[in-house]
Structure 1
Amino acid sequence: MTDLMVVSLSKDAPAAHWGNADVTFQNNEVVIHLQGGDELRQIQQAARKLRNLGIARLSLEGDLWDLNSQWSLAHGFATAKSVPDITWTGDEATQLELTNRLESASFARHLINETPENLAPVKLAILAAHWLSEIGGEKVSYRIVEGAQLLEEKWVGIHAVGRGSERPPAMLELDYNPLGDDAPVSVALVGKGITFDSGGYSIKATEGMLGMKCDMGGAATVTAALGLAMKQGLNKRVKLFLCCAENLISGHAYKLGDILTYKNGVSVEVVNTDAEGRLVLADGLQAACETGAPLVIDAATLTGAAFMAVGNNYNAIFSPQSEVLAMTQLKASEVAERVWPLPLDPWHRDMCPSPYADTANSRPMKGGGAGGASNAAGFLWRFVSPEVKWLHMDLASAFADSPNSLWAAGGTTHGMLTITAILQD
């Protein structure tokens, strides 16, 4: 007897006694019957069914499996409690790529699914730095700026959001340089690392707060994407900035009506302490632009508005440059991920006005009002240098609050492959 279930794909309909079933069984063999249309989605849904039956180990066999179909099955088979145990098929290069993807995605899932108590801001920075250092060795260097030192270096957003917690906020500055000497930075990555988001004094309701351990999904996604690219042999210099904080309530917490003046001189009135992600990303974007990188990418679980616009199977993307959006859509399609561009015009930078400062961090209404995802992107645009090409990813599909037909509850890592593909471009 074996507990290993052999899975193959078929374009044939099942035997009549199976009716319209898309998954059939015989002994320790499973056949997923593809029915036309979005076959990758069907495979992922079939994998969820297998996992829900209690099946723990799979071996993939047959000629119809390719890189994307095997990865779709891995997505559906993953859970918050276990790493998928899958024996891949295909040539050596395909199996190595799938192994590297799974190692990187599992690292990100572990971070996203970790309890808030076990993942303080500084610990998030340390875990990300150590994992990337294990992959890159001497090619990786880093430093962590934490607590009062953030103010000394004028990273006022991260400090303000994180000062309400007993555990200090932090910024991870990491340099991957396989070229040596003073090589130019090709890409700078920025990730939102809010390890728990209570909403601050604009406190969330219980049902909205329960899943907020996922609010560092952007940090996990860009870290995993860089790690995967490094495993693939990335030969360009990349800098990574993680903006890490807990958004909590205390006598030290930042308050509505506070005004933050950023390193670039932009003053921001706080009208919603639950719009904290853009406040920390503003620091990270400035740091990224200081590297001289021609392309800056940030990723964040930023707005509920993006989720309402594109649902939980797409990530929303924004850029002032149409060529960046087109490139991102192309790279996402190559790795079978889904992105969708939302509007970003120059006037979006002025959609959060303040009578007391250059801008507010939101609008004083539920969800920031109409166009909230675009208004958030417009706010971030104020902190991006004009000469830089910039991509903002609002990760609507980074986390599943509850299990569904495609994902187990928890982190999905959807978006990791798109960023890796851009790094390798």
Structure 2
Amino acid sequence: MSNATAEIVQISIATAKAAAKWGNNALISPTALGYQIHLSANEPLRSMQKAGRSLDNLGICQLQLAGSGWSKDLQWAFYQGFCNAKRHDGVAFNNEQGAAEQLVQLAQCFSFAKKMINETPEVLSPLALAEQAETFIRTIAPEGTVSSELISAEELANAGWHGIYQVGRGSSRPPALLVLDFNPGKDNSQSVAAALVGKGITFDSGGYSIKPTEGMATMKCDMGGAATVTAALALAILQGLNQRVKLILCCAENLISGHAYKLGDIITYKNGTTVEIVNTDAEGRLVLADGLMCASETKAPLIIDAATLTGAAMVAVGGEYNALFALDQPLATRALQYAANEQEATWQLPLQKWHQQQCPSPYADTANSRPVKGGGAGGASNAAGFLSRFVPNDGKGWLHFDLAAAFNNSANGYWAAGATGQGIRSIAAILLAETAAS
């Protein structure tokens, strides 16, 4: 061990319980070079993440995972607990099992997503979100494999993307639709294997259905879906993705002004569906509808959207799980297994075709919600039902992630406050496996 390495705090995995003087069943105890972690046999990953959180709370900024026993999953659990909103580095990974390079790639993609989600909305405008996502993918992808189109402001309405335009027109900073094409074969005749769609609401006041302060304070995270699918594409590229994939980000600020969309407005979408606005705070599904239709135009057999869409999903599954919705049950079953393989907690919630009818309107084909708090009972399923109106083939090949676990309002024993990155590994794994099988 070099002197420079020895000066860094060394973190090892203990094979025995901590000495009694450190407390009953202590999770960490000091050593001559740093600390050792005494893992729970029942929940090793959770106890490892808790140890990372505890060591961050001690003020340690840089450490080395040393010794033996460091599997990839244990190292990643530690990293997730140790990092906070102000620092996404400081962990020198252990390469005993040859996983260090993969872990560095994971950290690179998670760091991008977390920094974007935690960024102040004053800095991260809709256009800035789109531009930074494109720049990140270009830094990851081989040269010449990425092209893009950015449609903004009035051009959105002219192109028929009325959902994004209507939600974003109340802000002085224009809404935008990014369509990025990752084409590793550099062949425009190659079919698109998958399309990723992300909700990119850079700040959500709720519009005229305005949120209370406690509900609005963290709404910089409402572009978490866009950050998640961007990071997932980047991770898949780093892991060898060789299929053509389109990334579609629906970016807007949902603000109040004399030019903002209003309750009672009716939006007519490209596919002819008319939508009455009964809640301007149910805006995520309005922008995703455009993104899903844009994805449908690519003829991709796999469409995955991700969004911090409903509080109802958080009520249903809590803050540790993401919620998954699908009409294609065989695909959903595979997706849940991919997520489990990546150690990302994901739970499927109900979705049937009849959920499309759960938000009726006397003036349009559907309302965008129900005019009651939180959208009423089954709000997350009803939102997914709304989205299902805008996907092809009766939902075959489509997955919807409601990212209940993407952001924590405050720190707890396992996570720092802010973005978690939960969902990135799952979506990257689905993308790689399903496009390889197609």
TM > 0.5 between the two?
A: yes
SS in 1 for 2:337: helix
Q: CA deviation at 1:3?
A: 5.2
Corresponding residue of 1:222: 229
Q: CA deviation at 1:347?
A: 1.0
Answer whether contact 1:11 1:35 (CA < 8 A) is retained: no
Q: CA deviation at 1:27?
A: 3.1
Corresponding residue of 1:16: 20
SS in 2 for 1:124: helix
Q: Give the structure-1-normalised TM-score.
A: 0.98
Which residue of 338, 362, 371 maps to 2:378?
371
Corresponding residue of 2:429: 421
Instruction: Tell me which amino acid in the other structure corresponds to 1:4.
Output: I
Q: Which whole-Å CA distance do the structure 2 matches of 1:90 and 1:323 have between them? A: 37
SS in 2 for 1:175: strand
Corresponding residue of 2:263: 256
Which residue of 78, 81, 90 maps to 1:76?
81
Corresponding residue of 1:351: 358
Instruction: Tell me which amino acid in the other structure corresponds to 1:172.
Output: L
1:139 maps onto 2:150 in alignment: no
1:190 maps onto 2:197 in alignment: yes
Instruction: Tell me which amino acid in the other structure corresponds to 1:168.
Output: P
1:386 maps onto 2:386 in alignment: no
Residue correspondences, number: 425
Answer whether contact 1:10 1:64 (CA < 8 A) is retained: no
Q: Which whole-Å CA distance do the structure 1 matches of 2:295 and 2:15 have between them? A: 48
1:155 maps onto 2:155 in alignment: no
Corresponding residue of 1:175: 181
Corresponding residue of 1:233: 240
SS in 2 for 1:116: coil
SS in 2 for 1:343: coil
1:408 maps onto 2:416 in alignment: yes
Answer whether contact 2:71 2:97 (CA < 8 A) is retained: no
1:239-250 mapped onto 2 (5 Å cutoff): 239-250=246-257
Q: Which whole-Å CA distance do the structure 1 matches of 2:399 and 2:114 have between them? A: 23
Q: CA deviation at 1:93?
A: 4.5
Q: Which whole-Å CA distance do the structure 2 matches of 1:151 and 1:3 have between them? A: 59
Answer whether contact 1:77 1:84 (CA < 8 A) is retained: no
Q: CA deviation at 1:63?
A: 2.2
SS in 2 for 1:138: coil
1:317 maps onto 2:321 in alignment: no
Q: Which whole-Å CA distance do the structure 2 matches of 1:93 and 1:228 have between them? A: 18
Answer whether contact 2:68 2:96 (CA < 8 A) is retained: no
Answer whether contact 2:199 2:225 (CA < 8 A) is retained: yes
Q: CA deviation at 1:90?
A: 2.2
Corresponding residue of 2:120: 115
1:103 maps onto 2:108 in alignment: yes
Which residue of 336, 339, 343 maps to 1:332?
339
1:396 maps onto 2:404 in alignment: yes
Q: CA deviation at 1:229?
A: 1.0
Q: CA deviation at 1:249?
A: 0.2
Larger deviation: 71-80 or 29-38? 29-38
Q: CA deviation at 1:360?
A: 0.3
SS in 2 for 1:219: helix
Larger deviation: 3-12 or 46-55? 3-12
Q: Which whole-Å CA distance do the structure 2 matches of 1:351 and 1:170 have between them? A: 29
Provide structure 2 residue ranges, at least 5 long, that are not aligned to the other structure: 434-438
| 1:204-253 Cα shifts (integer Å, max 9, x gaps) | 00000000000000000000000111112211110000000000000000
Q: CA deviation at 1:31?
A: 1.0
Q: CA deviation at 1:16?
A: 2.2
Answer whether contact 1:3 1:57 (CA < 8 A) is retained: no
Instruction: Tell me which amino acid in the other structure corresponds to 1:421.
Output: A
Corresponding residue of 1:34: 39
Larger deviation: 290-299 or 173-182? 173-182
Q: CA deviation at 1:143?
A: 1.1
Corresponding residue of 2:349: 342
Q: Which whole-Å CA distance do the structure 2 matches of 1:330 and 1:180 have between them? A: 32
Larger deviation: 410-419 or 3-12? 3-12
Q: Percent identity?
A: 55
| 1:252-307 Cα shifts (integer Å, max 9, x gaps) | 00000000000000000000000000000000000001101001000000000000
Q: Which whole-Å CA distance do the structure 2 matches of 1:141 and 1:42 have between them? A: 43
Q: CA deviation at 1:62?
A: 2.4
SS in 2 for 1:173: strand
Q: Which whole-Å CA distance do the structure 1 matches of 2:289 and 2:323 have between them? A: 19
Q: Which whole-Å CA distance do the structure 2 matches of 1:278 and 1:10 have between them? A: 48
Provide structure 1 residue ranges, at least 5 long, that are not aligned to the other structure: none
Larger deviation: 361-370 or 58-67? 58-67
Instruction: Tell me which amino acid in the other structure corresponds to 2:52.
Output: A
Instruction: Tell me which amino acid in the other structure corresponds to 1:277.
Output: G
Q: CA deviation at 1:29?
A: 2.2
Q: Which whole-Å CA distance do the structure 2 matches of 1:415 and 1:153 have between them? A: 31
Corresponding residue of 2:309: 302
Instruction: Tell me which amino acid in the other structure corresponds to 2:211.
Output: K
SS in 1 for 2:122: helix
